[in-house]
Amino acid sequence: MQVQLIKLAHARSGDKGDTANVGLIALRDAFYPLLVREVTAERVKRHFEGICKSDVERFELPNLGALNFLLHESLGGGGTLSLMTDAQGKTFSTALLRMEIEIADDEARSAGLI
């Protein structure tokens, strides 16, 4: 079944120059392995097609049940150079939560999703 990340995680995003960072945090411990498996750097890069102009890096924080993504060249030059409404990447958090991932029905059942 398809599940939107907003059902599995919360998130906060910010900036470092022209790079947006998105921290994706599992709502429950049981969801973290699903995020690790499905929300890969490649998948996030595809999700942000047309927005992220360079690479996506991913870091794992199992202690927090969180993944950190760096989306390089995503903020129109970044900082004061950017003309974007969201020059600081503050809303990339919920943009990532729009993503849908595929999980098996029995997985969804054991994670308490259905």
Partner 1 sequence: MKETIRIAAGQGFWGDLPNAPVRQVEEGPIDYLMLDYLAEVTMSIMQKQKARDPKAGYARDFVTLMSRILPACVARDIKVVANAGGVNVAGCAAAVREVARELGLGGKLKIGIVTGDDILDRIDDLLGRGIELRNMDTDAPLASVRDRIQSANAYLGAAPIVEALNQGARLVITGRATDTGLTLGPMIHEFGWAADEWDKLAAGTIAGHIIECGAQCSGGNCQYEWQSIPDLANVGFPIAEASPDGTFVITKHENTGGRVNIPSIKEQLVYEMGDPRAYITPDCVADFTTIHLADDGLDRVRVFGIKGRPSTDSLKVSISYSAGFKAVGTLVYAWPDAYEKAKAADRIVRARLDRLGLRFDQILTEFVGANATHGPLAGEPSPDLAEVQLRVGVRGNDRQAIEEFTKEMAPLILTGPPAVTGFAGGRPKVEEIVAYWPALIPKSEITVQVDVIDV
Binding region for partner 1 (CB under 8 A) = 10-19, 21, 23-25, 27, 47-51, 59-66, 68, 70, 76-81, 83-86, 90-91, 93-95, 98
Q: Does the CA dihedral 76-46-57-30 come out positive or negative?
A: positive
What CA–CA distance (Å, rounded) separates 46 from 102?
15
CB 103, min distance to partner 1, A: 21
CB 109, min distance to partner 1, A: 24
Burial class (CB in 10 A: 0-12, 13-18, 19+), 15: buried
CB 20, min distance to partner 1, A: 10
What CA–CA distance (Å, rounded) separates 6 from 23?
13
What CA–CA distance (Å, rounded) separates 63 from 23?
13
CB 94, min distance to partner 1, A: 7
Question: Of the two residues 2 and 63, which places its CB atom closer to partner 1 in the complex?
Answer: 63
Question: Of the two residues 10 and 107, which places its CB atom closer to partner 1 in the complex?
Answer: 10
